[in-house]
Amino acid sequence: MKNLILLSAFVFGFSTLCIAQSGTTKANVTLTSEAQAKMTLEKKSHDFGTIEEGVQATISFTFKNTGNEALVLNSVKPSCGCTTPKWTKEPIAPGEEGVITAIYNSKGRPGNFTKTITVKHNGEGGTEFLTIRGVVNKAAVEVQPTVVAPE
């Protein structure tokens, strides 16, 4: 019985010591300030409203690096092949601006659309989501007149 009590006290003491040390480590990590980039977007979404089928709808999202380290965009990926992104490829220094341009191809896509562009970067948070939306009016069908010669 003595051994069981001693073993329980040892396990309890060891557990308390481990928890106390892990709490101290987390506090140290939280309190340190490291250099880090921060992506601040002017806006995260755009509504094109109503556009005609066949139009290449384009919008540029401007962002600024409000951190204290260079911001690098690691990847910029659209949710489908109908949207083409272009972006600032070189590192953006603190206080500088960059641009992500989204081009939506409405050809053959009448109706409502909502598309997302996922931006992965080395800054705070690591990921941003941009959204474009709108309505595509179906293009009028061009009818070719048929000429019939009398017999």
The answer to whether position 149 is within a domain reads no
The answer to whether position 148 is within a domain reads no
The answer to whether position 51 is within a domain reads yes
pLDDT category of residue 15 using cuts at 50, 70 and 90: low
With a pLDDT cut of 70, the percent of the chain lying above it is 77
Provide the token pair at 128.
């941003």
Summarised one tens digit per residue, pLDDT across range 99-148 is 999 999 999 999 999 999 999 999 999 999 999 999 999 887 776 777 77
Q: Same structural domain for residues 5 and 46?
A: no
pLDDT of residue 2: 65
Task: Measure Cα distances from 10 to 2, 17, 19, 23, 24 in Å.
Answer: 12, 11, 14, 20, 21
Provide the residue range defining the domain that includes 79. Answer: 39-137
Q: Same structural domain for residues 27 and 58?
A: no
Amino acid at 40: T
The answer to whether position 151 is within a domain reads no
Q: Tokens 């960059």 sit at which residue?
A: 98
Side-by-side strand order, sheet with 73-78? 45-52, 127-137, 111-121, 73-78
Summarised one tens digit per residue, pLDDT across range 47-82 is 999 999 999 999 999 999 999 999 999 999 999 999
| Number of domains making up the chain | 2
